[in-house]
Amino acid sequence: MRKAYLAAAGVIAMLAAAPALAQTSEITIGITTTTTGPGAALGIPERNALEFVPKEIGGVPLKVIVLDDGGDPTTATTNARRFVTESKADIIMGSALTPPTIAVSNVASEAGIPHFGLAPFPVTPERAKWSVVMPQPVPIMGKVLYEHMKAHNIKTVGYIGYSDSYGDLWFNDLKNQGGPMGITIADEERFARPDTSVTGQVLKLVAANPDAILVGASGTAAALPQTELRERGYTGLIYQTHGAASMDFIRIAGKAAEGVIMASGPVMSPETQDDSALTKKPGLELNKAYEAKYGPNSRSQFAGHSFDAFEILKRVIPVALKTAKPGTPEFREAIRQALMTEKDMAASQGVYNFTEKDRSGLDDRSRIILTVKDGKYVPAK
- 381 residues of the chain, pLDDT tens digit each: 444 433 443 433 333 444 443 456 899 999 999 999 988 999 999 999 999 999 999 999 999 999 999 999 999 999 999 999 999 999 999 999 999 999 999 999 999 999 999 999 989 888 899 999 999 999 999 999 999 999 999 999 999 999 999 999 999 999 999 999 999 999 999 999 999 999 999 999 999 999 999 999 998 899 999 999 999 999 999 999 999 998 889 999 999 999 999 999 999 999 999 999 999 999 999 999 999 999 998 999 999 999 999 999 999 999 999 999 999 999 999 999 999 999 999 999 999 999 999 999 999 999 999 999 999 999 998
What 172-179 contacts at long range (C-beta under 8 Å, 24+ apart), as own/partner pairs, is 173/138, 173/139, 173/142, 174/142, 174/146, 174/214, 176/139, 177/139, 177/142, 177/143, 177/146, 178/142, 178/146, 178/149
Query: Which pLDDT does position 25 carry in this prediction?
Result: 87
Nearest to 300 by CA among 366, 372, 349: 349
Terminal C-alpha separation, the chain: 87
Residues 255-299 have pLDDT tens digits of 999 999 999 999 999 999 999 999 999 999 999 999 999 999 899
Rounded-to-integer distance, Cα 326 and Cα 321, Å: 8
Strand partners, 371: 261, 378
pLDDT at residue 126, rounded to an integer: 86
Q: How far apart are CA 34 and CA 171, in angstroms?
A: 24
Cβ atoms within 10 Å, residue 369: 18
H or E stretch including 223?
A: helix 223-231
> Does the domain formed by 139-264 have CATH 3.40.50.2300?
yes
> Burial, 318: exposed, middle or buried (Cβ in 10 Å; 0-12, 13-18, 19+)?
middle
Domain ranges for the chain, please list them.
21-136+299-363, 139-264
Please say whether the structural domain 21-136+299-363 has been given the CATH code 3.40.50.2300: yes
Type of residue found at 218: S
Classify burial at 298, counting beta carbons within 10 Å of its beta carbon; exposed 0-12, middle 13-18, buried 19 or more.
middle
Q: How much is the pLDDT for 21?
A: 39
- 115 forms beta bridges with 92, 131
Say yes or no: do domains 21-136+299-363 and 139-264 share a fold: yes
| Backbone angles phi and psi of 236, in degrees to 5 | -75, 175
What pLDDT shows up at residue 24?
Answer: 60
Instruction: Give the pLDDT confidence of 184-228 residue by residue, as tens digits.
Output: 999 999 999 999 999 999 999 999 999 999 999 998 899 999 999
Residue 141 has a pLDDT of 96
Residue type, 67: L
